[in-house]
Amino acid sequence: MNKLSRGNHRKVAFVMAMALVASLSQVAPAAAKGDDIVILIGEKDSGWCAQDSPGLDQISAKNAVAETLTIMNEKGKIVPYLAKTVENSADFKTWKFTLREGIYFHDGEELTAATVLANVAANLGLNPLIPASLPAIAWQDGFGGVTSLAQFAAKAQALGKYVVQFNLPAPRPLFNESWYANGRPVIWSTKTLQTKACGTTVGAGTGPFKIRSKGVDQFQTVLEANPNYWRKDAAGKRLPKAATVTYKVVLDAAQRTNALVKGQADIATFGASSGPQLNEMKKNAKLVLFEGRRDTTWSFHMNTTAAPFNSKSARLAFSYAIDREALAKVVAKGNADAAYCFGATYHPYNLSNGGKKKCATFDLAKAKQYVAAYKTETGKDLTVLLPTTESTESAKANQAVCNMLKKAGAACSLMPPVTATAVILRGFALQQQVSWFNVVAGYSPAFADLFSRKTNLELSGFRFTNPGLAACFQTALETNAAAKYQECAAVLHGEAYWVPTYNEGGFIVARNTVTGLGETPLPVGGKRPVVGLSGFDIASVKVSD
Amino acid sequence: MKYRVALKNLAKAVLVLFLVTFSISILVRWLPGDPIEILMPFATEEGRAALRAELGLDINVVQYYFSWLFDLLRGDFGVWYASTGDGGGVPVRSMLAVALPRSLLIMLYTMVVSIVFAVPLGIFLAYRAETRTDKTISNVLFAVSSIPSFAIGLALAFVVGVQLDLLPVIGYVPFAENPSEHFRSLVMPVVSLSIGLIATFSRLLRVDMIATLREDFVTMASSKGLSNMWILWRHVLRPSSSTLMTSAALQMGALIGGAVVIESVFALNGFGMLLTTAIATRQYLAIQSLVALIAIAYIVFNLIVDVLYAVVDPRVRGGRG
Amino acid sequence: MNSMMSIGNLHVRFATPFGSLEAVRSVDLEIPAGASVGIVGESGSGKTVACRAAMGLLSGSNVQRDGTVVFDGKELTAMTREEVRNEFGTGMAMIFQDPMTALNPVRRIGTQLSESLRLRLGMDKKAALARSAELLSLVRIPDPEAMLKKFPYQLSGGMRQRVMIAIAISCNPKLLFADEPTTALDVTVQAQILQLLSELRRDLKMSMVLITHDLGVVANHTDFVAVMYAGEVVEQATTAELFANMKMPYTQALLNSIPNIEMKSGERLQVIEGRLPNPVDRPKGCGFVTRCSYAQQKCHDEHPPLLDAGNGHLYRCWYPLGHTIARKP
Ligand SMILES: Nc1ncnc2c1ncn2[C@@H]1O[C@H](COP(=O)(O)OP(=O)(O)OP(=O)(O)O)[C@@H](O)[C@H]1O
Ligand code: SF4
Ligand SMILES: [Mg+2]
């Protein structure tokens, strides 16, 4: 009789076990093959508007949908893209963009001079529906601070259906680069502009893929092939090659690795801080790694409005205390370089003199000296509080920095971890002593602008009041003279406003079944880098079985 | 007189809801940083003023609270501001429609799995109380309950997902889309969340069962010649389960918003993720609505447990005799 | 006379934080088939422990039981737990002392009553419930059908006690231990219950061990009596002999403490002046010595052995009572 009860329990357990086995034994469907590509990215979609600052991950998706007038080729040179030619006057004040003909947006609109003007106006904040944006800061400046459509119309006209000309009040030698800005100022169709959504949920660009769906929770973006895409492959065949591309957000680098190894995804992106995973994947014959040029500099950005880093001694102590070689190892396990100078080596800001000179150095004796100087100045011990994000990498890296500071005699502790976004936002809001994040030190004049103009961005994130520096950068901007850039960068370093730590390039890792990465030719010849500052080109990508 | 008790409970629930949501209104304002600066760093002055008005930063918190409350009661959970900075965005409700069912299902499965394993284990340990088996297993359980769920999750993903190639390591599949894939996609997350709970629950049950085993009615039951199993399951379990149920109710609430790490590891993107992002990006309205939902969840789960108490212990039903 | 149960040299020790507590020491007891044996003694004297130990109901790692118990020709003390369990319900049953705690508070009366029938006698659910109702009417519970659906908390103490009796007799046990079946009850109810038990015993041909404080109960409902004090049997005889030739000062003291009708139910008895000896650290002489008006020096120094008055009347006293006490009606 006792069996009665026991038997029942056994039956339940048996049924449950069977259900489990049944569900387990059903083999996982292989990753989408052939025409459907799954790409894992480590960053949530923060929006595709020009002022959003997506990293490598999101910008790839955005640039698969919408494109820029100019683009950077694999040699780091800005070349025309949606524009067929870009011409400028000798004084860099008149710029003429001639568009390619026969390019259509996903919603059927043809790309014309009028569309481009609408986009500029929108990005300038002149279209009341569209807010100002980061590249717009550069444009605002370039146009001499236009505030109305009428003023704008005097400076930008269509010279024909496909020709736009800009008349700038001051020389802007790098105006063509403003139209690339690492893939941010894309050209949307006029209708898209009117939705104000800039592709956040819907949007028509000219890119190889169009938006099929964007998850309302921003974790999944599905794109489908644009049958009327304008570029062709090297053999003159139609692009894109894949039918759909799904971008999925997987925040955990180890899980991106796992999914890739397993075949749940075809491509995934990684930062250098995923060093352990990268090194592991390098050994996996099924995977191929591509690394971008190491031109993204992770720097500490000092909050110069508050103690302790309103003191130059404190900033210098910090800068001298950091052993960058050691830090690069801790952070990236061999997947990043120590960074001493501000900006990538090819950049005019870069003071390294071809890599020989070290602009900021690790010098423990000097660090100690400045810690002492800070004490004499303020009567207080130098106490540093570093923000951390929830990732284990962040804790490790910041702990390493803390240890270095402690060796120099400063006190240091970590703030309770928050999300990566929160660290950046709190940095902007000047609620931290420092923020440690990456700045793509590309050619962008917008970048010099950060220092030269009192913009919202400056107010938010990079505030330091140094009129001399601002003036210096303003001149550099107008002359594009290397000597001037170097002069400004020297001030930046001398004051240790920013403390470079390491340089990384983005990584993308693909299964060896993936073909066509970085193979699409650019219309003016050459190619885009496989991994560039605006992501990677997926127009030619296909997955074989 | 039962409806009076029900009314009293309802009044209590409403009061709790009010206190929670109202204090959140205040606390949200205490979050460091100007939300305008964070929500729309590049906005124009007009844009800022508009958002300021919309977030009720200009009016006092009481006024603001009630306007939020009336919106909520009308089913309007507020707007998730897009960084376009024009005050536009996605309704929080549509984001909830994606995130909430996932989190509820994960919570449900986790609870079922945890209880199904914890109860026999707890019974076994109580039955073997103070023997070497009990001591060994109890110590192991204590250790297990302190392993963070994400560590278990990552280990599982590597071993079961990659090495054995049995289960997907990322992603969520809705039941309606593919039932078997739905379960497969949740096996590892649910197991990761359950292991700690199994340890906690079985230890709670063990303690209560040991106390119940000392009761006279248990000796009485054995004097009737009933088997140990029968006695443990039919006589001892129910009177020993109140701590377990209370704890389960709390864990149910906690799992709704607190499974964020596991959601992140397995790319499930449920409610926890939504809330974390809302806080990080100062989505005032969303934070408040989400927290209100969590409070409601706690209250509902507690009500459910109150009902369960009554099922399990008839004395509760009739008022203590 | 056949023996129903024979208990030989029973010892029960509990390991406690204060040391080993010997709750039952060297108890010998014979329960003849069909007879009713009373065990009397004040609270804490070891009556319950002795009976539970005899049945094999004491469990736990802190319990040590020694001695032999032979039940119905089978040596329980040599059997496995499972084998002993097979005797429960059908062979031996016990009415627990406290009706408030001995019924499972979360299960219906019907379930608790019918489960023995189903599990021990193999009845199906319906038959078991029908039989349960019969059993309830047998113990004079009005409207037994309704009672089946009730929970213990809905019942008065007397009703619970009746339910316990019904459970105990449900499988027709040969031997019934009734552990103070009336202590918690009203005096009028007490009489009814005792009457009921006696009738049931007669009708069902059970042997019975009736545990009580109350010598009056013993006088009316038992054939044999064992008086326990501090874990020992201190006097043992047929009921008639005991009341005719009471030997122990302790038994006499118990007799003097019989509750009278005016006492309210539940009121604690004023039993005997003084307290039981510390069970962990016993005096070396007679355990009753500090409370006994007949005590001499010898009582302090030497533990009295169990002596036989010649007619099977056993007592444990150096200076037994010499006079006769009139039997109470
Ligand atoms: N599980 C146990 N652990 C330790 N000591 C116990 C245990 N059970 C009983 N005792 C002790 O054994 C002694 C005898 O207890 P028992 O319950 O048999 O007394 P009793 O004669 O039935 O008294 P009452 O009339 O109050 O029921 C007491 O001192 C009691 O404290
Ligand atoms: S032995 Fe002595 S003390 Fe003990 S009961 Fe007899 S007379 Fe009293
Ligand atoms: Mg007792």
pLDDT at position B244 over 70 = yes
Which residues in chain A have Cβ-Cβ distances shorter than 8 Å to B184? 23-24, 26, 28
Domain that holds residue A531: 2-65+207-293+506-543
Name which of A500, A504, A496 is nearest A340 in CA terms: A500
**In a shared domain, residues A327 and A433:** yes
- Position A47 scores a pLDDT of 66
pLDDT at position A4 over 50 = no
- Position A1 scores a pLDDT of 32
**In a shared domain, residues A411 and A341:** yes
Confidence of residue A419 (pLDDT cuts 50, 70, 90): low
Q: What is the mean pLDDT of chain C?
A: 87
pLDDT at position C328 over 70 = no
Chain C closest CA to A1's CA: distance in Å? Answer: 5
- The stretch A236-251 carries a mean pLDDT of 90
Contacts of C21 (CB under 8 A, 6+ apart): C13, C14, C15, C279, C280
pLDDT at position A545 over 80 = no
Distance, CA of C172 to CA of C90 (rounded, Å): 6
**In a shared domain, residues A304 and A341:** yes
- Which of residues A184 and B148 earns the better pLDDT score? B148
Q: What is the mean pLDDT of chain A?
A: 81
**In a shared domain, residues A56 and A121:** no
CA atoms within 13 A on the CB side of C266: 3
Omega cis (within 30) before A240: yes
The CATH number assigned to the domain holding A182 equals: 3.90.76.10
CB atoms < 10 A from the CB of A72, how many? 23
The CATH number assigned to the domain holding A16 equals: 3.40.190.10
**In a shared domain, residues A259 and A173:** no
pLDDT at position A348 over 80 = no
- Position A149 scores a pLDDT of 77
Distance, CA of C110 to CA of C20 (rounded, Å): 41
| CB A40 within 8 Å of CB A248 | yes
- Position C258 scores a pLDDT of 64
CA of C236 to the centre of ligand 2 (A): 16
Q: What is the DSSP string of C151-208?
A: -GGGS-HHHHHHHHHHHHHTT--SEEEEESTTTTS-HHHHHHHHHHHHHHHHHHT-EE
pLDDT digits (tens, 9 = 90+) for C171-186: 999 999 999 888 767 7
Lowest mean pLDDT among A33-42, B26-35, C277-286: B26-35
CA of C297 to the centre of ligand 2 (A): 10
pTM for the model stands at 0.81
Q: Locate A238 and state its tokens.
A: 């139609």
The DSSP code for A104 is: B
Q: Is A90 on the interface with C (CB under 8 A)?
A: no
Which residues in chain B have Cβ-Cβ distances shorter than 8 Å to C90? 225
For residue A202, being part of any structural domain is answered with no
Which residues in chain C have Cβ-Cβ distances shorter than 8 Å to B312? 106
Q: Locate B161 and state its tokens.
A: 């997902």
The DSSP code for C145 is: H
Q: Do B223 and C90 touch (CB under 8 A)?
A: no
Sole residue written with tokens 């014309």: A112
- Position B111 scores a pLDDT of 95
CATH topology (fold) of C3-91+171-315: Rossmann fold (3.40.50)
Q: Find the DSSP H helices in A168-248.
A: 175-178, 190-195
Confidence of residue C324 (pLDDT cuts 50, 70, 90): very low
- Position B210 scores a pLDDT of 93
Domain count, chain A: 3
Contacts of B34 (CB under 8 A, 6+ apart): A429
**In a shared domain, residues A247 and A332:** no
- Domain boundaries along the sequence of chain C: 3-91+171-315, 104-170
pLDDT at position C251 over 70 = yes
**In a shared domain, residues A109 and A165:** yes
Q: Locate A280 and state its tokens.
A: 């592991």
- Position A300 scores a pLDDT of 87
For residue A49, being part of any structural domain is answered with yes
Please, what's the b/e burial string for A400-429 (b: 16 or more CB within 10 A of its CB; e: otherwise)?
A: bbbebbeebbbebebeebbbbbbbbbbbbb
- The stretch B65-73 carries a mean pLDDT of 85
pLDDT at position C28 over 50 = yes
Chain A closest CA to B3's CA: distance in Å? Answer: 37
For residue A196, being part of any structural domain is answered with no
Distance, CA of A20 to CA of B301 (rounded, Å): 27
Percent of residues, chain B, with pLDDT higher than 90: 37
For residue A197, being part of any structural domain is answered with no
Exposure of A116 by Cβ count < 10 A (0-12 exposed, 13-18 middle, 19+ buried)? buried
Chains near C, with 3+ CB pairs < 8 A? A, B
For residue A198, being part of any structural domain is answered with no
- Position A28 scores a pLDDT of 42
Nearest CA to ligand 2 atom 5: C317
Q: Locate C316 and state its tokens.
A: 């444990």
pLDDT digits (tens, 9 = 90+) for A313-330: 999 999 999 999 999 998
pLDDT digits (tens, 9 = 90+) for A455-480: 434 433 454 556 677 778 778 878 87
Q: Give residues 74 to 113 of C whose Cβ lies within 8 Å of B.
A: 85-90, 93-94, 96, 98, 101-108
Distance, CA of B192 to CA of B156 (rounded, Å): 8
Q: Is B223 on the interface with C (CB under 8 A)?
A: yes
CA atoms within 13 A on the CB side of B25: 19
DSSP H/E element including A131 = none
pLDDT digits (tens, 9 = 90+) for A37-59: 999 988 776 667 665 555 667 78
- Position A535 scores a pLDDT of 83
pLDDT at position A24 over 50 = no
- Position B317 scores a pLDDT of 65
Which residue of C49, C182, C212 sits with most ligand 1 atoms within 8 Å of its CB, as the best mutation to test the pocket?
C49
Lowest mean pLDDT among A403-412, B5-14, C205-214: B5-14
**3-class SS at A153?**
helix
- The stretch C110-136 carries a mean pLDDT of 93
* A-chain residue closest to C118, CA distance: A1
**In a shared domain, residues A326 and A243:** no
**In a shared domain, residues A29 and A169:** no
Distance, CA of A150 to CA of A155 (rounded, Å): 9
Q: Is A2 on the interface with C (CB under 8 A)?
A: yes
Sole residue written with tokens 């319950």: C48
**In a shared domain, residues A177 and A149:** yes
Give the Å distances, CA to CA, from A445 to A430, A473, C11, C127: 24, 9, 98, 94
Q: ipTM score here? A: 0.87
- Position A443 scores a pLDDT of 53
- The stretch C65-84 carries a mean pLDDT of 93
Nearest CA to ligand 2 atom 1: C317
Omega cis (within 30) before A308: yes
**In a shared domain, residues A289 and A301:** no
